[in-house]
């Protein structure tokens, strides 16, 4: 058994086979196969199919392009039948027990290396043809593969790192958990793993080797451990822990329907942070008081490089509004930039993206895009209790400019006789020291604040939230940060407005009592953290 340690980002125990995910190499994953005979048969069938395809191409090109061109494909048929190539693939499948796709790719590369230098070889100068043949085979194999993913057998994903959009797309019915070599606990990937309740450990480093592909592993998301080929006693201990977790969940289950109230009667709202419509189900099942943060930028990051249309967005926001009924849903206007790069909003490369073109700066600059989103939110506001929140605010002028655009969009809808909530609440994220210092002035402009402690920490401490080397210094309990939260709470309450916290700190139960004393009105956390937080609140005297 090998034990690897990383950073825990989402609790839970997951047991399964490890499968490496490599961006751009999705088709060719190396998988250890049990039944080599079956794998050989797959290769044989793929060869027959490839041969048939090449024969057809040959005939077609002879007819349309002449004999000389047709010979290219005759040559490819020869490669397909080449004894050396076929033996190379067979050896990798039978000797090393790797899957056919991987074997084809490896054998093709060795074939190129071996023959391209020989004067007498017919391969010389035809390396691209070898690769073309290999690609054809892999494509055919990929279709026939009874893959763990395609078959739906759940597995544990391993990767160098995961982008937030990839964490968002993980199919929870197939991916039991994930582990990565790199990544930071303060990243959006981590936030998504928590929101989606996927046991995960990140930042394991180079110790997470490709050789472990296909091996049975256990993720202990409570302790940040990955056990490769666990021994009997570890397996027993982990299954026991999993059971305990189920029992803990049962205790939490009993808190559903109960109020978030301390023993002395102080109430606080506990809401959910989400990033996609798929998260709404867990918001409901965890009995949230509302959605305190809908990270709408994920709609932009997951739209095949195109801006989401007004209708596309409207449907998602309406669904959230209807699902939550009277409970409030705060849609944060797209906070694109930093580590949330969306292909549809091209940002020229920046030396420091976290301090660059981001959030409200993009929204005010790309007014058309902003207006489309505002129209979608306003239209959806007719179907529930929606609020809109502006991200990355550093100046009062940004808020007045955003409000002006909102007013124009409202006017437009009025003239089109489209229903919307005329009194929709407006809020701002407090994520920068500038916003803290201006919180009194900002409070006069809006209905509520939500403190984004993740960004507020990084900008206050001048410490990149993603920089692994700084993780020892990155202190979300830093007295400067706590002082800032207190200042903001006082200022917003002086104006009679509401204040919530939606950064990771909101879920930190060691601070709950202090937040209650500050008079924080709402804590917004990943859905899986709602009930543990409720438990804590109800224990406070």
Residues that bind ligand PEP (CB under 6 A): 188, 191, 293, 295, 335, 431, 452-455, 502-503
Q: Where are the alpha helices (DSSP H) in 416-470?
A: 433-437, 439-445, 453-461
Q: Does residue 464 bind Mg ion (CB under 5 A)?
A: no
Give the β-pairing of 385-390 and 328-332.
parallel
Contact 269, 523 (CB under 8 A): yes
CB of 218 to Mg ion, least distance (A): 33
Secondary structure (H, E, C), 363-398: HHHCHHHHHHHHHHHHHHHHHCEEEEEECCCCCHHH
Cβ distance 99 to 39 under 8 Å?
yes
Indicate whether 455 belongs to the interface with Mg ion (CB under 5 A). Answer: yes
CA angle 283, 285, 290 (to 5 degrees): 35
3 state DSSP class of 177: strand
**In the complex, least distance from residue 459 CB atom to Mg ion, rounded to whole angstroms:** 9
**To the nearest whole angstrom, how small is the minimum distance from the Cβ of residue 226 to ligand PEP?**
25
To ligand PEP, the closest distance from the beta carbon of 457 in angstroms equals 8
Q: Is 232 a catalytic residue?
A: no
Catalytic residue among 58, 126, 271, 502: 502
Between CA 79 and CA 508 the distance in angstroms is 61
With CB under 5 to 8 Å by kind, the binding choice for 453 among Mg ion, ligand PEP, none is ligand PEP
Question: CB-wise, 207 or 347, nearer to Mg ion?
Answer: 347
Question: Nearest distance from residue 539's CB to ligand PEP, in Å?
Answer: 26
Beta carbons within 10 angstroms of residue 290's beta carbon: 21
CB of 160 to ligand PEP, least distance (A): 22
Residue 330: burial class (beta carbons within 10 Å; 0-12, 13-18, 19+) = buried
Phi, psi of 427 (to 5 degrees): -135, 170
Alpha helices in 148-207 (DSSP H): 148-151, 164-169, 188-196
Q: Determine which one of 188, 344, 477, 478 is catalytic.
A: 188
**DSSP-assigned states of every residue in 103-125:** HHHHHHHHHHHHHHT-TT-TTTT
Binding mask 414-453 for Mg ion (x = CB under 5 A): -----------------x--------------------x-
Residue 407: in which H helix or E strand, if any?
helix 396-415
- Please give the Cα distance from 145 to 43 (Å, whole number): 10
**What are the residues whose beta carbons fall under 8 Å from the beta carbon of 235, sequence distance 6 or more?**
15, 218
At residue 349, the 3 state secondary structure works out as coil
Neighbour count for residue 472 (Cβ, 10 Å): 7
- The residue among 164 and 384 lying less far from ligand PEP, judged by its C-beta, is 164
Chain mean position to CA 251: 29
Query: Considering beta carbons, is residue 230 or 503 the nearer one to Mg ion?
Result: 503
**Closest by CA position to 242, among listed 14, 65, 44, 20:** 14
Q: Which is nearer to ligand PEP, 225 or 465 (CB)?
A: 465
358 binds, among Mg ion, ligand PEP, none (CB under 5 to 8 A by kind): none
188 is known as an active-site residue: yes
Give 279 or 455: the residue with its C-beta nearer to ligand PEP: 455
Q: Which does 502 bind (CB under 5 to 8 A by kind): ligand PEP, Mg ion, none?
A: ligand PEP
User: Cα separation of 85 and 46, whole Å?
Assistant: 14
CB of residue 458 to Mg ion, shortest distance in Å: 9
166 contacts which partner out of Mg ion, ligand PEP, none, CB within 5 to 8 A by kind?
none
Pick the closer one to ligand PEP by CB: 17 or 188.
188
Separation of alpha carbons 261 and 255, rounded Å: 12
The catalytic site residues sit at 188, 502
Q: Note the residues at the interface with Mg ion (CB under 5 A).
A: 431, 452, 455
């Amino acid at each position: 058994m090998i034990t690897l340690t990383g950073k825990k980002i989402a609790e839970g125990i997951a047991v399964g086979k490890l499968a490496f995910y490599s961006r751009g190499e999705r088709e060719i994953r190396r998988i250890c196969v049990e039944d080599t005979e079956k794998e050989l048969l797959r290769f044989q069938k793929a060869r027959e199919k490839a041969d048939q395809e090449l024969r057809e191409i040959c005939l077609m090109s002879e007819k349309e392009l002449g004999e000389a061109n047709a010979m290219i494909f005759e040559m490819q048929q020869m490669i397909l039948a080449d004894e050396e190539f076929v033996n190379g693939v067979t050896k990798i499948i039978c000797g090393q027990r790797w899957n056919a796709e991987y074997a084809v790719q490896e054998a093709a590369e060795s074939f190129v290396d071996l023959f391209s230098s020989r004067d007498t070889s017919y391969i010389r100068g035809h390396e691209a043809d070898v690769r073309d043949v290999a690609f054809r085979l892999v494509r055919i194999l990929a279709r026939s593969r009874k893959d763990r993913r395609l078959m739906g057998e759940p597995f544990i994903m391993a990767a160098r790192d995961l982008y937030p959009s990839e964490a968002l797309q993980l199919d929870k019915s197939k991916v039991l958990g994930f582990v990565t070599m790199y990544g930071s606990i303060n990243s959006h990937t981590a936030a998504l793993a928590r929101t989606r309740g996927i046991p995960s450990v990140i930042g394991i480093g180079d110790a997470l080797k490709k050789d472990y592909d296909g091996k049975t592993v256990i993720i202990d998301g409570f302790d940040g451990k990955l056990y490769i080929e666990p021994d009997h006693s570890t397996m027993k201990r982990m299954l026991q822990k999993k059971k305990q977790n189920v029992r803990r969940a049962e205790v939490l289950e009993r808190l559903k329907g109960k109020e978030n109230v301390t023993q002395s009667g102080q109430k606080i709202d506990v809401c959910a942070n989400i990033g996609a419509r798929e998260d709404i189900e867990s918001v409901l099942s965890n009995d949230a008081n509302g959605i305190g943060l809908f990270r709408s930028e994920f709609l932009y990051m997951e739209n095949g490089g195109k801006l989401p249309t007004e209708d596309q967005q409207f449907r998602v926001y309406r669904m959230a509004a209807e699902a939550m009924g009277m409970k409030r849903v705060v849609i944060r206007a797209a906070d694109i930039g930093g580590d949330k790069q969306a292909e549809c909003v091209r940002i020229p490369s920046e030396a420091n993206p976290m301090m660059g073109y981001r959030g409200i700066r993009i929204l005010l600059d790309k007014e058309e895009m902003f207006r489309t989103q505002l129209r979608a939110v306003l239209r959806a506001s007719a179907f529930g209790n929606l609020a809109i929140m502006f991200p990355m605010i550093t100046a009062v002028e940004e808020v007045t400019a955003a409000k002006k655009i909102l007013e124009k969009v409202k006017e437009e809808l009025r003239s089109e006789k489209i229903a919307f909530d005329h009194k929709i609440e407006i809020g701002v994220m407090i994520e920068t020291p500038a916003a803290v210092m201006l919180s009194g002035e900002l409070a006069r402009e809006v209905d509520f604040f939500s403190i984004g402690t993740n960004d507020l920490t990084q900008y206050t401490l001048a410490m990149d939230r993603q920089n692994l080397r700084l993780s020892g210094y990155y202190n979300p309990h830093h007295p400067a940060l706590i002082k800032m939260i207190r200042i903001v709470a006082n200022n917003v309450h002086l104006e009679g407005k509401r204040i919530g916290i939606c950064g990771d700190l909101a879920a930190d139960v060691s601070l709950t009592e202090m937040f209650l004393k500050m008079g924080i009105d709402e804590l917004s956390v990943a859905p899986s953290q709602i009930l543990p937080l409720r438990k804590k609140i109800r224990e406070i005297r």
